[in-house]
Structure 1
Amino acid sequence: MRNWKLVPALLALTLLAVIVYILFYFVFVDFFVDLWWFRSLNFEGYFWLRLLYRFIFSGGVTIIFFGIFFFHFWIASRYLGLSPPDEILVSADKRQRFQSFADIFMHGSIKIYTPLSLILAIAIASPFYSQWETALLYFFGSSSGIVDPVYGQDVSFYLFSYPLYMLIQQELLYSSIILFFLVTALYWLEHVFVPNQNKEYPLGAKIHLAILFAFTVSFLIWGLFLDRFSLLYINSHEPVFFGPGFVEIRYELPLIWLSIVSVLAMFISAVIYVFSRQHRTMIPIFIALGGFLLALGLQNISFIPSLIDTFIVRPNPVLTEGQFMENNIKATLAAYDLNNIKIVDYKVNLDASEDIEKWGTLKHFENIPVWDREFLIDGYQQLQGIRPYYHFHSVDEDRYYLNEHLQQVNLSARELNIDKIPAAAKNWENEHLRYTHGYGAVITPAAQDAGNPIIWYLRDLNMQSNVGFSVKVPDIYYGQEDYTYAIVPNDLDVLGITGSDKDITGAYKGRGGVPIPSMFRKLLFAFYQKDEKIFFSTNISKQSKILLRRNIVDRINAITPFLHLDKDPYLVVTKERFYWIQDAYTLSDKYPVSKFARDDFLSGTENFNYIRNSVKIVVDAYDGAVKYYISDAQDPIINAYRIAYPGVFNSLESLPVELQEHLRYPRELYYMQMMIYAKYHQRQPGLFYEQAETWQFAQVNKNYVMPYYQTLDFAHCNDREELVMINPMTPINRSNLSMVGLAGTLDIEGCGKNSYKPYLQIYKFGKDIQVNGPAQVEALIDQDPDISEQFTLWDQHGSTVAKGRMVIIPMGDHSILYVQPIYMISTKTKIPELTRVIVSIGNQVVMDTTLWSAFKKLKTKFIKSAEDAQGTGTSAE
């Protein structure tokens, strides 16, 4: 019997132990590890500030709603409006029973209202727990200076205020409805439990309920008012245009205003009816209700809008919808930063002799990329992986000042891939204490001669370079691979795992990582990583640090989850060490009347209709230090975060010059912008409606020619080379070329040395002359008997011929140069070999082993063609 008495105590202790374990494991451990990690990155102030904002907005909203519920319940319980007749209170027994009843409602009910108010407050405020950053942007956002074309509101209203207003309105409406019915029920209880009550509610109860009803109606009207702005995001007119049209603005918008007026009239009529004692009638209430139901019904039937569309809009689409198309065009171009594109009318001349003569210098050919990174990655891995646990994740393009001019190169970091170590070596000590990092990088020039081995500018574990590349600290602890945690330095003797024979210890001397100076921290990290070996390992010293979140994308997302990251971070080589540069974007889905981007961009993100490449993020590959630099100071979203988090975002001018020189226009952003611009470059409503000049990305063999990097002098700044993105586009469903687009970062107006001023430029071709697209050039290549014969011969010798990406470059003043590399891929080793280069201008095609020799042959062809044409003209005379 005594044992049974211990059961409740044991259950209570068990429950307490479970709660303590949950708090320790999921709150205490995570909190302290995050705190130490942010402190190691010098972001401790940001960590506390972010926590404070979350507590203020989430916790503050919960307290406010709790206060609202509790206040009204308390008022209702303190004043029930009890008014029993005097004869009921004559006897002491009846008076005592009535007083007990009143005490239950007026004093004892607080035990019910308090937890009920808390539960309701948490339920109502729960959306704020995940959307607290919406409130942050509202409080720190500022005016953009741009107004929407429909209502004339500043765009910042839609980016910052509108999302928060919708959230607040919804939750306030829910809370007011719940309160109204609960308080009404509370007042009704007196007529159930107290005998001989008056039929009507007392004046105090009426006033209280009227106030609650007024709040409900005001929140409903506010919701209808906000509903006007939802018309700006209607997609029912696509694929023609996005946003509201004639029907929405001329028919649906007036109905919303009718709804607002009807609800307001209905409320006023109801109040007058309730508080009036004489000549009261419900006719005004029914009239207002009828107006509201009429407006609601007209909004939800398609008959009348269909008639308007059939008899007014469709017969005159440009006249009726022209202004709304123009609104969509202007908003979309502004939202995707496409307003300042420079258009160059490029008149192509079929006779390219003059441009060939001007362009006939070797310098122009030293930067034309003939190695596609999709092919080059296999060569890097086969020739420079060197050790089984090293891996090249991707190939990047960049430019460095080499051989007395700016030269385009391909490069890749030699990172650690723990999955590649031998199976016998896969144990905890090797994976976390020995095999901890990658080492070095490889660099090759973008332009190379065919038929020769790959030229290396940086190679091998001894970092050999014949062009001056030298890196003091070549270790890579942070990169793009799927890194696990590492503990360094440690008491193990790590011999020759990472570098050359000269590197015998590989001891980590960086400032990054979280120190493990005590057994307490070892215990916490063991819990955090769910790995007891951290606690029991004797090879972890007091000087050891644990390196966490070593994948640079995971690392940045853990610090600033509100930034959206580009898919292609790239490596930069300096004399001191390696750095990663990551482009980051601010997005919104609330830019008014702007078309949504629906293409595969920034995987994992929702649809958006506003974007800015507002931040450049630099990650130290050795220390893991993360620094943020604002690259678009005009973006209102990043400015709001800059004000909210002082000290986190730096000006771009403070970025070291050796890194500024390697900033580039993001490939993914440019691709997405051109997808939008392909349609929205047609700015006149009539032309936009016809879609007669809509573009698409050029295609070869049903594959799109994606934007690619090219370093060249485009005559922007006095014989100065620059790295740009290039993409060719053709008319939709056609193969001839319509334009060649450029995206660069050079200050083409001021020509400052290290200034970063992104620009877009379009070389637009006239309609009077046929300009070959890549598919047409490929057809010329296939029709050339010498080239096709050579392809057939190669295919018979145990290898496969593969055509690389076609490079298309405006050449001189009136010509287009086409360059396509040809690879042979061995069926045994799978190593690609650059075997030939094809060069084409106009309808002439030449294949040779080098760009320079192919160009000279092409030049000879044009001279001969010109002489033949001149001779034909003379004989005709």
Structure 2
Amino acid sequence: MSLLFSYLMSGERSDPLSLPLKAFFLFILLLFFGVTLFSRFVLDYKWFESVGYPQVFLVTLTARLFLFALGSLVSFLLFLFFWRWCKRSILSSVTVFAPFWEQIEGASREYIDVTPETSVRRVIKSIEMPLLLLFALVSLLAGLGLSARWSTVLLYLNKASFGAVDPIFGKDIGFYIFTLPFVNTILNYLIALFILISLVLILAYLSFNWRLLGEEIPPSLQAALIPLFLFLAAKAYLSRFNILYSATGAVYGAGYVDVHINQYIPLIISIILLGTAIAIPVSSLISARGSIKIPVAAVALVVVVSILGSGTAWFVQEFKVSPNEIVLEEPFIENNIRLTNKAYGLEGVHEEIYPLTYNLTIDEITDSPSIKNIRLWDHRPLLTTFQQRQEIRTYYGFSNLAVDRYHLNGELVQTWLAAREMLPDKLKGTADTWINRHLIYTHGIGVVMAPVNAVDEQGLPEMIIKDIPPRIEVEGIKITQPRIYYGEETNNYIITNTNREEFDYPMGDENQYTTYKGRGGIPLTPLNKIFSTIVLGEVKLYTSEYITEESRLHLYRNVNERAEKITPYILFDNDPHTFISSDGRIYWMLNGFLTTERYPYAEPTRFNNNRFNYIQDSVKAVIDAYNGTITYYIIKNDPLLTAYSKIYPGLFKPLSSMPEDFKAHLRYSEDLFKIQANIYTVYHMKNPEVFYNKEDRWEIPTEKYETAEIRVEPYNVLLQMDDKLQFLTILPFTPVGRDNMISWMAVKQDEPEYGEITVYKFTKEEQIYGPSQIEARIDQDETISRDLTLWGQSGSRVIRGNLLVIPYKNSIIYIEPLYLAAETGSIPELKRVIAFYNNSVAMEPTLNEALKKVLGASNRTTSRGVTIPEEGTIDSLIQQTIEHYNAAKKALMAGDIEAYGREMKNVERLLQKLEEETGEK
């Protein structure tokens, strides 16, 4: 192809057949690209048709083609119009010069005039066709650029009101998200177009008659410069709204200097540019030709105004604002706080005090659903266990775990679930063939499920769904279709319903085979087979005897890619989760968000290389793992989603139409929760002065995992709250630079309260241990430390799981599971559970034993927080004194004076008790 292109571009004229031959090869080249492009369009349409959304493809395609045609046509017509006007101007001038490359320098070092007949007409005629081709190419590129903004145009045409206005200009938020991007798109297109036209005209005049550009502007160039300056004036005027996204003040958004200085600079510049657009034709009326000095002076004046404006802004900031910043910036800080919370869905967060009583009894935790569902299996060691015990064959794999809840044996149980997918990249040697990858090994099979808290005698998870075909060991769940054709790791295309049966699953020394009976895939009719061969670049698709007209081509099988193919404007999180419906089918549920970075005043953030300052939990996409069908359900109908619903009628379905058994597996996105939690660590401060001084800033604490310190991740719990068992995602907070816990955030995941966020705060008088402090207390415990050291020395790898902070009945319980695995990488086993409650720590083989021990010790705790040993032994008192003294030292090193004082008082009381026991000081 490159040789063909080189030949076409060469200038050699070896024989009379050269031009026709080049034309033929050019035709072949264009035909090749045309057929490829057409095939891709057809195959895409067939795919959209196969998933039930042909209208989505047609609406998008129509918009893109219309904008491409409009952008290309307008560009080409304007290029043609101005070029012909310029050509007539050059040829009709009194004195016409040869092109600069043909001008002859005489002995007197002056240019020799030549007539148009001898040079200019010939040159213009010779370059006109290449120039027209260049205009066509540039116009096509302009059309492509405009068509790439199809979503901006469609959103503007279907815009919706946000029902709120910005605090500076008083415009609806929708103006900044729908209208302003559209107007800027049109202006950018026109400005770029008229800049190119002006450059073409200037080059033409410089080449053929430079005297026409002496001190006056030729009429054709005037006609190009006037709209250019008008569009630049409009662009400058609209740029004043950019102060709402300023990052130079005390907060993100317009500050004092922006409102009082910076917003007027673009206004002055727009007036200058508008005046220039008017002055150019006025000056031509006075002197027949406009003066070239006008646009030059305008550009210089714009530069001067920009410099003076920046200098003025700096001066005001340094000498007026900075000395009085909190006073002058207070209203703008309020704007930033209010609109940031609104943009991230945090304006409805409910805050309440979480009172601590620490009066739990052993009876209260016995058979408690909240306690029974405490997660003992961390997802990392559990995934390793699933991979080693349940992959069965090398070509199967588990890529992720989904935490969920199911009614099993009459009880609501929190579970881990993993889908067993086919991984064709694991096919090795002679097994790694095109037929095996695309026709035989087409699907995974079954799932593995384990309760989050169930452990067998060997310290391994109790799997309630396992093996191939799936074996189910509980009541309340069934699997009627275990085959997984669409998943997280299904990244290659497959062809089903061929003359070769598909591998289904191994059964002893035999293999079971099957034939696909679902609705997924594109029927491979003769024409579809041709299009598929061209697009995928695989001749075997056309030549294979196994493929018939009944065969079906399955594309975009990765569930994230599949959802994004239909809705590229929706941002999906990193964790599609599997669930089993009441009729026994396997589904994937994806969390989708609508975002923009044009929300006024809202603090921007990043996720998956996307920058935005507005995000809403908008959509759930549900994908059938067997058929590949996909349904989008509206979770929150924000104005962006309203606009897209108008663009694509019928694409998004109301949540009320979601089956009840699907609603039972709704999960709030952990990625969204982390984004909101990070924002809330700062934006929970509603008082502008407190916010400005960062007096009450929070952070997400750290914990130990194995030997590393990592940030605490959000985790799911089943908690008894408001007289009912609720599925929540929770996360603790600590003050910045301190380790004590100050609050925790929870989001509900069950209908009808799905998405409600509550922040539970502890009173300022209470000092509650944070995760890192609990980790330190665990490390300081002599028994636990000794056992951990012994296990490590015996060749075992000690894995400290997630430290869970469990709020329960006005108490805080801390739970950390401990796993052991051989250094060679054997299966992790749950060996111990560490519990911490009200200053008591215990490590026992089971959760119940650990809780009973710490609750028993806590119930013998004095009101001052010092545990009195049952037998009152001196050794126990000494051990407690050492523990409290070490805790005091750590608090002092951390700068926590309050905690230091409290621990030293405990030390003093224990020493007094020792005096009483021993009779000595």
Task: Give the TM-score, by structure 2 length.
Answer: 0.82
Question: Structure 2: 5+ residue runs without aligned partners?
Answer: 1-13, 95-114, 873-908, 917-921
Flag the 1:789–1:383 CA change in 2: closer, same or farther, 3 A.
same
Aligned partner (choices 60, 85, 88) of residue 70 of structure 2: 60
Aligned partner (choices 541, 544, 553) of residue 537 of structure 1: 544
Cα distance in structure 2, aligned partners of 1:106 and 1:282: 25
1:19 is the counterpart of 2:37: no
Pairwise mapping of residues 67-466 of structure 1 onto structure 2 (< 5 A)?
A: 67-72=77-82, 115=133, 118-179=136-197, 212-237=224-249, 240-268=250-278, 271-276=281-286, 292=302, 294-301=304-311, 304-349=312-357, 352-354=358-360, 358-449=364-455, 452-466=459-473
Flag the 1:191–1:385 CA change in 2: closer, same or farther, 3 A.
closer
Cα distance in structure 2, aligned partners of 1:456 and 1:215: 72
Aligned partner (choices 550, 559, 581) of residue 557 of structure 2: 550
Aligned partner (choices 774, 787, 790) of residue 790 of structure 1: 787
Aligned partner (choices 608, 614, 621) of residue 618 of structure 2: 614
Whether the 8 Å contact between 1:461 and 1:500 is mirrored in structure 2 is: no
The answer for the alignment partner of 1:41 in structure 2 is 51
**Paired residue type of 2:625:** A
RMSD over equivalenced CA pairs, Å:
3.8
Cα distance in structure 1, aligned partners of 2:248 and 2:26: 55
Moved more, 690-699 or 449-458: 449-458
Cα distance in structure 2, aligned partners of 1:538 and 1:640: 48
1:508 is the counterpart of 2:535: no
Per-residue CA deviation, residues 24-71 of structure 1 (Å, 9 max, x unaligned), is 2x2133222222222211222222221111111222222233334444
Flag the 1:317–1:355 CA change in 2: closer, same or farther, 3 A.
farther
Flag the 1:712–1:117 CA change in 2: closer, same or farther, 3 A.
same
SS of 1:727 mapped into structure 2: strand
SS of 1:66 mapped into structure 2: helix
CA shift for structure 1 position 769: 1.1
Cα distance in structure 2, aligned partners of 1:492 and 1:283: 79
Whether the 8 Å contact between 1:582 and 1:618 is mirrored in structure 2 is: yes
CA shift for structure 1 position 190: 11
CA shift for structure 1 position 75: 6.3
1:525 is the counterpart of 2:532: yes
1:809 is the counterpart of 2:806: yes
The answer for the alignment partner of 1:93 in structure 2 is none
Cα distance in structure 2, aligned partners of 1:427 and 1:788: 53
Cα distance in structure 2, aligned partners of 1:736 and 1:432: 55
Flag the 1:757–1:102 CA change in 2: closer, same or farther, 3 A.
same
Flag the 1:81–1:14 CA change in 2: closer, same or farther, 3 A.
closer
Whether the 8 Å contact between 2:65 and 2:147 is mirrored in structure 1 is: no
Moved more, 469-478 or 141-150: 141-150
Moved more, 158-167 or 679-688: 158-167
1:845 is the counterpart of 2:846: no
Cα distance in structure 2, aligned partners of 1:102 and 1:291: 38
1:662 is the counterpart of 2:662: no
Aligned partner (choices 584, 589, 593) of residue 585 of structure 1: 593
Q: How many residue pairs end up in the alignment?
A: 829
**Paired residue type of 1:20:** L
RCO higher in 1 or 2 (8 Å CA, sep ≥ 6)?
1
CA shift for structure 1 position 377: 0.4
**Paired residue type of 1:217:** F
SS of 2:464 mapped into structure 1: coil
The answer for the alignment partner of 1:572 in structure 2 is 579
Cα distance in structure 1, aligned partners of 2:196 and 2:503: 70
Identical positions, percent: 30
Pairwise mapping of residues 590-739 of structure 1 onto structure 2 (< 5 A)?
A: 590-598=598-606, 601=607, 603=608, 605-633=609-637, 635-701=638-704, 702-715=709-722, 719-739=723-743
Whether the 8 Å contact between 1:359 and 1:811 is mirrored in structure 2 is: no
Whether the 8 Å contact between 1:694 and 1:732 is mirrored in structure 2 is: yes
CA shift for structure 1 position 355: 7.1
SS of 2:514 mapped into structure 1: coil
Flag the 1:615–1:105 CA change in 2: closer, same or farther, 3 A.
same
CA shift for structure 1 position 6: 5.1
Per-residue CA deviation, residues 627-670 of structure 1 (Å, 9 max, x unaligned), is 1112111x222221111112222112212221111111100111
CA shift for structure 1 position 317: 1.4
Flag the 1:793–1:60 CA change in 2: closer, same or farther, 3 A.
same
Cα distance in structure 1, aligned partners of 2:28 and 2:523: 30
Cα distance in structure 1, aligned partners of 2:837 and 2:202: 84
Flag the 1:242–1:294 CA change in 2: closer, same or farther, 3 A.
same
Cα distance in structure 2, aligned partners of 1:285 and 1:554: 50
SS of 1:321 mapped into structure 2: helix
Cα distance in structure 1, aligned partners of 2:64 and 2:371: 56
CA shift for structure 1 position 692: 1.4
Flag the 1:500–1:218 CA change in 2: closer, same or farther, 3 A.
farther
1:855 is the counterpart of 2:851: yes
Cα distance in structure 1, aligned partners of 2:292 and 2:231: 23
Cα distance in structure 2, aligned partners of 1:567 and 1:663: 16
Per-residue CA deviation, residues 787-807 of structure 1 (Å, 9 max, x unaligned), is 223223333433222111011
The answer for the alignment partner of 1:88 in structure 2 is none
Flag the 1:500–1:248 CA change in 2: closer, same or farther, 3 A.
farther
SS of 2:352 mapped into structure 1: strand
Moved more, 328-337 or 161-170: 161-170
Per-residue CA deviation, residues 824-844 of structure 1 (Å, 9 max, x unaligned), is 112345211111111211211
The answer for the alignment partner of 2:815 in structure 1 is 819
**Paired residue type of 1:532:** V
Whether the 8 Å contact between 1:585 and 1:611 is mirrored in structure 2 is: yes
Cα distance in structure 2, aligned partners of 1:190 and 1:807: 80
CA shift for structure 1 position 527: 3.3
**Structure 1 stretches of at least 4 aligned residues deviating more than 6 Å after TM superposition:** 75-84, 97-113, 183-194, 280-291, 499-503, 867-873
SS of 1:721 mapped into structure 2: strand
Per-residue CA deviation, residues 232-253 of structure 1 (Å, 9 max, x unaligned), is 222223xx52123222222222
**Paired residue type of 1:785:** E
SS of 2:766 mapped into structure 1: coil
Whether the 8 Å contact between 1:58 and 1:132 is mirrored in structure 2 is: no
**Paired residue type of 2:237:** F
**Paired residue type of 1:232:** L
**Paired residue type of 1:572:** F
**Paired residue type of 2:406:** Y
Cα distance in structure 2, aligned partners of 1:281 and 1:159: 41
Moved more, 372-381 or 785-794: 785-794
The answer for the alignment partner of 2:486 in structure 1 is 478
Cα distance in structure 1, aligned partners of 2:625 and 2:714: 27
CA shift for structure 1 position 290: 8.4
